[in-house]
Amino acid sequence: MTHPLQTKAWAEFRKEWGNEIEFVKGKLVIFSKIPHTNFTIGTCLKCDPITDSEPDLFRNIGKKHDAIFIKFEPNIVSGSKKHGEWKKIQKYFVAGKPFFTPTTFWIDLTKSEEELLKSFSSKTRYNIRLAQKHGVKVEIDNSDKAFEKYLELTAETNKRQGFYSHTPKYHRLMWKYLNKTQKFKKSKTPIANLLVAKYKPSLAGKADKSEIISTWVLFAHDGFLYYPYGASTDKYKEVMANNLMMWEAIKFGKKLKLKTFDLWGREEGKGFTRFKEGYNPEVVEFIGSWDLVINKPLYYLYRFAEKIRWFILRLKK
């Protein structure tokens, strides 16, 4: 399957964002400038396998863009037949720092709703029913107003949890190309869609207007549903809106006749990982991060500088 990060829509988005892009044997490579230098770093994320003859081709393209290295994170499941093919060319690469988490969760969307609900933990099923009882309504809302609310909640979530996140400009450009731009819509459903949870709190005995309290960006592409971005308010946590959001996201994927829901990452011990585990997903491991080194001295200097940078950022946090 082709991942959304390997599509022409994603390429055009990143090009307008300011990156240099190349399609090499059908694989998208994005080159990003290293600040205050003339050098770049290439990334080829969630790509198809490459053949034994291609590393030199990528290396030459990298030199053209003054790249220190190109990071590959192929869309290859560990232990698969394609993993065996990758091992034949692994000698050309150095194990790198992961961009994506090495493991993710997959939910089988070909199962019936009844089968899926039965597989969830009892606590998860209870929280879904609780959200419904509280009157939480979940729907796809790709309106400009809903997207602005998503940006607002993203800022709130980042501040609350101390996340480092993309800027509003980045999200708007992503939305422009993956949701709004007609030429990239191969079906009535765009790649990017916004799922929102609305809740109408009761204030002083009077029903107030409903408000959006949780927002998720979902990618639908080539048989897969993905959950890359999400944000919510800290208010009304007791109504368990996100539990209903996940269930409605699953039903949305089934409605589109998609086969798999990729929950976009898994980190041991994190609260949101425990939340995802309640839906009884399969743990899937990818083959990891591999760097094609082009400028060896600068590559190891860069990796050392990155360690120092993240150490300082963690201290500030």
* Tens-place pLDDT, residues 28-59: 999 999 999 999 999 999 999 899 999 999 99
Q: Tokens for 149, please give them.
A: 């609310």
pLDDT in tens, 227-244: 999 999 999 999 999 999
pLDDT of residue 124: 98
**Domain 4-100+286-316 classified CATH 3.40.50.300?**
no
pLDDT of residue 244: 98
Segments of the chain with pLDDT less than 70: 164, 186, 203-208, 309-317
Handedness of CA 216, 220, 221, 224 (dihedral sign): positive
Total count of residues recorded for the chain: 317
Give residue for tokens 């419904």.
Answer: 132
| CATH T-level fold of 103-285 | Aminopeptidase (3.40.630)
Domains 4-100+286-316 and 103-285 share a fold: yes
Q: How far is CA 241 from CA 162, 270, 272, in A?
A: 22, 19, 14
What CA–CA distance (Å, rounded) separates 48 from 82? Answer: 9
pLDDT of residue 184: 72
Give me the residue spans of the domains in the chain: 4-100+286-316, 103-285
**CB of 73 within 8 A of CB of 45?**
yes
- φ, ψ (nearest 5 deg) of residue 248: -70, -30
